[in-house]
Amino acid sequence: MRRSLFKGVNGQKPREIAARALSQRGVGGYLEQVFEDLASRASLSPEDRRLAQELAYGVARWQATLDWLIARKTDARPQKPALRQLLRLGLYQIFWLDRIPDHAAVHETVELARRSGFGSQAGFVNAVLRACLREAGPLRAQLEELKHARPHLGYSHPEWLVQRWERRFGARDLALLLRWNNQPPRTYARINPLKTTPDKLIERWRGEEVSYDFVRADWLEDNQFFELKAHPPLHRLPSFIEGWFYIQDPSTGLAIHELRPQPGDTLLDLCAAPGGKLAHAAALMRNQGRILAHDSQPDRLKRVQENCARLGVTCVQTATPEDLNPLTTGMRHHRILLDAPCSNTGVMRRRVDLRWRIEPAELVRLAGAQRELLSQAAGLLAPGGVLVYSTCSLEPEENEDVARQFLEANPGWEIRRERLLAPFREGFDGAYVAV
């Protein structure tokens, strides 16, 4: 369970950044956004930044399990949210991180409590942490048992979500999925054939101290995706800056594989931002033809334009809702990609605090919006064209059910192919695609 990450003991600054990020999430945005903003302004060393991120993300992932530990040593008495975050930080270091001595984890957490305005409760923090330390062995055994007896606590997920996944996938695959969600995500790169070849990119990576592995899947071409094992920061990596590759999970390649764009096509990406799938399609089209990039939030199209400029994509035009109206433009499209907004349950390990944001009612709301988008996309397709509907959700309400309901409402359409990628089977992010 414990992770061996750090060679020494770091001071207060990483812990302060982690505590602030955890307290501001939800108000200032998703945890990843809040952390990046705080860390970029804190002038942290690379080692301290890694520690701060590990603490913030780890506490968010294991929140329910940490609260179970706290409840056992406080008779389930409530604490102020900020004080509870400090207890979580201390316990996470004790039970999940290696190479931070237990005494240092306790001392630094108590000091952080004093610096955070909880001086009068520093003794309470010290007592809870030391009580858990005294019983660390038995508590670790109980934490392992929780994974079997009460998996929502043992793996720190919402109980309602664990129950529905167990009904759908079974106990074995449920455990694999929960374990997957609690692991730090891997980094994958998709080569950009508009600017380079696999041989040239690999040769350049050797000079840039990038280590990699080849990625293979039945929906990917050979040497199309790579796992980056180690690399300098991307913002300082010339091959990234110059657009030789794009950071993208291999699961995203399934939608483009099924879309099968060809040079000369007219393609519409209805929910285009940030533009990874669109740029993949443009590369297969060899920049020949036209891609219209539309998004329900027009300000996000700036990110699409930035990515296209870096990657050398020249066949993309941004589109307003008026540009899509076939009654006024007379235009329909050979291929349409609808990568619909969804619950993101297939990419939960990349969205650290998503599990605590999603609610059952959200699935119903999203499914309604997805059906509307699918109907809109259908009206923009040329006769004989191909419409690909995709999500990064594992939930049937957003996937198979939306596709079936569309068929019931639109006679004459058919599903040619559909597929669900599940992390516990394919070893990549979750995704659903229907053609």
Residues serving a catalytic function are 392
CB 294 within 8 A of CB 269: yes
81 residue type, one letter: P
CA atoms within 13 A on the CB side of 42: 23
Q: ∠ CA(198), CA(202), CA(203), 5° rounding?
A: 120
| Cis ω for the linkage preceding 274 (within 30 of 0) | yes
The residues facing 212 across adjacent strands are 228
CB 191 within 8 A of CB 244: yes
Please state, as a whole number, how many other Cβ atoms lie within 10 Å of the Cβ of residue 7.
8
d(CA 61, CA 315): 41
> Could you tell me how many residues make up the chain?
435
Please state, as a whole number, how many other Cβ atoms lie within 10 Å of the Cβ of residue 114.
13
CB 268 within 8 A of CB 378: no
d(CA 72, CA 159): 19
**Of 176, 161, 93, residue with least CA distance to 133:** 93
Q: For the purposes of burial, counting CB atoms within 10 Å of the CB of 13, is it exposed (0-12), middle (13-18) or buried (19 or more)?
A: middle
Structure tokens at 18: 């982690």
